[in-house]
Amino acid sequence: MKKWLPIIIILGLILIIGGYLASLNNKLVVLDEKATAQWANVESSYQRRADLIPNIVSTAKGYAEFEQETLVAVTEARSKATSINIDPSNITPEQLAQYQQAQAGVTSALSRLLAVFERYPDLKANENFKELINELERTENRINVERNRFNEEARLFNTEINQFPTKIFAGMLGFDEKAYFKADEGSEKAPEVNFDDLGKDKE
Q: In 3D, which of 110, 109, 85 has the Cα closest to residue 99? A: 85
pLDDT of res. 201: 45
pLDDT of res. 203: 45
pLDDT of res. 64: 63
Q: pLDDT by residue (tens digit) across 83-126?
A: 999 988 888 899 999 999 999 999 999 999 888 887 888 888 88
Amino acid at 77: A
pLDDT of res. 74: 94
pLDDT of res. 195: 46
pLDDT of res. 65: 66
pLDDT of res. 116: 84
Secondary structure of the chain in HEC code, one letter for each residue: CHHHHHHHHHHHHHHHHHHHHHHHHHHHHHHHHHHHHHHHHHHHHHHHHHHHHHHHHHHHHCCCCCCHHHHHHHHHHHHHHHCCCCCCCCCCHHHHHHHHHHHHHHHHHHHHHHHHHHHCHHHHCCHHHHHHHHHHHHHHHHHHHHHHHHHHHHHHHHHHHCCCCHHHHHCCCCCCCCCCCCCCCCCCCCCCCCHHHHHHHHC
pLDDT of res. 133: 92
pLDDT of res. 196: 52
pLDDT of res. 134: 93
Q: What is the mean pLDDT of the chain?
A: 87
CATH 1.20.1440.20 fits 28-202, yes or no: yes
Please identify every stretch of the chain with a pLDDT value under 70, giving residue numbers as ranges.
1, 64-66, 184-203
pLDDT of res. 122: 85
